[in-house]
């Protein structure tokens, strides 16, 4: 039993270090409170795969159905565990804190009132790095909104960066498995680009070339970098559990999803928003360049990529019609020749010019998530309009 709120990646690491049989984590992550539920970690620290989750659900249902005549509950011993010390020790092994200190990097950290309070900032401060923090207190209402480290919720982080002349802003969600990164000029850097930059950086500085993993909805900038570095690419369905399996097998340098989850080689097979922010700090310190400058250089190497995600609510009639449409295999899409159809998760159409669109229906609400990527900003606008039209035409 953990005596206080703890980040999901810290719990994952504690399971591994303690040789535990698993962990039950109560969390809504970055979602509204009605999404609060149980997240189970298996003995390897990974999020449970669907087949494990189904078995647990079946056991719960069977026990509930048995009523008072069911098997007696076992009497279990109880002990407290502090994952913080173990987890922070691991981060010190992964992240070059001395390098960050020597670069005189100034950082602002925003845990969004969540479980990462006392983690990223304390680790940096103990290493002699200048760090300021916002929202570093317990608020069960998370400021009146979901604790999601997204662009529109990081204005107080930006203000503190302006006040302290910070080089970088790093944020985590409620359970610290997702990240949000703000550049020195206040620009929010979407996770697609952060994962690509860190992939390039880790190959360059660590010499790791095991492979790289990304979900089907994540930028193809990673595909281009994998080709450039001669690294094997793994494309998975959406859901970090699939990437976690590759982490466990030491098959990848880094794995990430556009929804702001990543982990790296020899680390937990779970999303780690704390690690993402710290590695970004190291990367900016080592390269001596802003994230914006680094992305321009990356584009110069492999070409530009412009991704985005949009959500569209559907009426029951539109949803029924569109669900049938997803079974089609179009060879042309509003003037784009379709060169590949991917069905790892939803429907992804890849076009001749390297752009693509991916449709995924939500399993919980009448929403379709549309992921688009083009090689120019103008191309993205046109592709986005076409992607929307295909839903409702």
pLDDT at 70 > cutoff 60: no
pLDDT at 73 > cutoff 70: no
Predicted pLDDT at 74: 62
For residue range 162-172, list pLDDT tens digits in order.
999 999 999 99
Could you tell me the end-to-end alpha-carbon distance of the chain, in angstroms, rounded to an integer? Answer: 53
- CATH for 8-72 (1.10.10.10, 3.40.120.10, 3.40.50.300, 3.40.228.10): 3.40.120.10
Residue 391: CB partners within 8 Å, gap ≥ 6?
Answer: 312, 314, 318, 322, 359, 368, 370
Band the pLDDT of 60: cuts 50, 70, 90: confident
Query: Which CATH code for domain 84-301?
Result: 3.40.120.10
C-alpha atoms less than 13 angstroms from C-alpha of 68 in its C-beta half-sphere: 0
Predicted pLDDT at 393: 87
For residue range 318-356, list pLDDT tens digits in order.
999 999 999 999 999 999 999 999 999 999 999 999 999
Nearest to 37 by CA among 368, 255, 314, 364: 364
Residue 81 token pair = 């565990």
For residue range 225-235, list pLDDT tens digits in order.
999 999 999 99
Per-chain mean pLDDT for the chain: 93
- H-run or E-run covering 123: helix 120-126
Predicted pLDDT at 76: 62
Question: What are the start and end residues of each CATH 3.30.310.50 domain in the chain?
Answer: 306-392
Prediction pTM value: 0.93
CATH T-level assignment (fold) for domain 306-392: TATA-Binding Protein (3.30.310)
Question: What are the start and end residues of each CATH 3.40.120.10 domain in the chain?
Answer: 8-72, 84-301
CB 181 within 8 A of CB 122: no
Question: What burial letters (b/e) apply to 31-52, b meaning 16+ CB within 10 Å?
Answer: eeeeeeeebebbebbbbbeeee
């Amino acid at each position: 039993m953990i005596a206080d709120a703890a980040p999901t990646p810290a719990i994952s690491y504690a399971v591994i270090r303690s040789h535990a049989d698993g962990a039950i984590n109560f969390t809504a992550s970055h979602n509204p409170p009605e999404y609060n539920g149980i997240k189970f970690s298996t003995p390897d620290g990974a999020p449970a795969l669907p087949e494990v989750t189904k078995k647990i659900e079946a056991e719960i249902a069977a026990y509930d159905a048995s009523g008072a005549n069911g098997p007696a509950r076992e009497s279990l011993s109880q002990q407290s565990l502090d994952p913080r010390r173990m987890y922070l020790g691991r981060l010190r092994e992964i992240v070059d804190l001395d390098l960050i200190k020597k670069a005189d990097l100034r950082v602002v950290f925003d845990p969004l009132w969540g479980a990462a309070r006392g983690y990223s900032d304390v680790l940096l401060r103990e290493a002699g790095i200048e760090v300021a923090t916002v929202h570093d207190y317990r608020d069960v209402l998370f400021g009146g909104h979901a604790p999601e480290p997204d662009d529109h919720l990081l204005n107080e982080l930006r203000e503190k960066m302006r006040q302290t002349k910070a080089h970088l802003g790093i944020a985590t969600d409620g359970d610290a498995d997702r990240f949000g990164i703000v550049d020195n000029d206040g620009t929010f850097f979407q996770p697609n680009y952060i994962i690509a930059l860190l992939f390039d950086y880790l190959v360059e500085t660590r010499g790791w070339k095991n492979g790289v993993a990304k979900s089907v909805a994540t930028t193809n900038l990673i595909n281009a970098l994998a080709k450039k570095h001669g690294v094997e690419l793994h494309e998975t369905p959406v859901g970090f559990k699939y990437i976690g399996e590759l982490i466990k097998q030491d098959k990848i340098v880094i794995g990430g999803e556009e929804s702001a989850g990543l982990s790296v080689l020899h680390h937990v097979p779970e999303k780690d928003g704390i690690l993402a922010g710290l590695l970004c700090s190291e990367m900016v310190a080592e390269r001596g360049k802003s994230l914006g400058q680094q992305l321009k250089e990356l584009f110069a190497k492999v070409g530009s990529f412009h991704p985005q995600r949009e959500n569209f609510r559907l009426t029951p009639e539109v949803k029924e019609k569109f669900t049938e449409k997803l079974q089609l295999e179009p060879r042309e899409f509003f003037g784009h020749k379709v060169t590949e159809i991917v069905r790892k998760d939803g429907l992804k159409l890849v076009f001749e010019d390297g752009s693509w669109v991916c449709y995924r229906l939500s399993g919980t609400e009448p929403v379709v998530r549309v992921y688009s990527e083009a090689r120019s900003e103008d191309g993205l606008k046109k592709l986005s309009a076409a992607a929307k039209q295909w839903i409702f035409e």
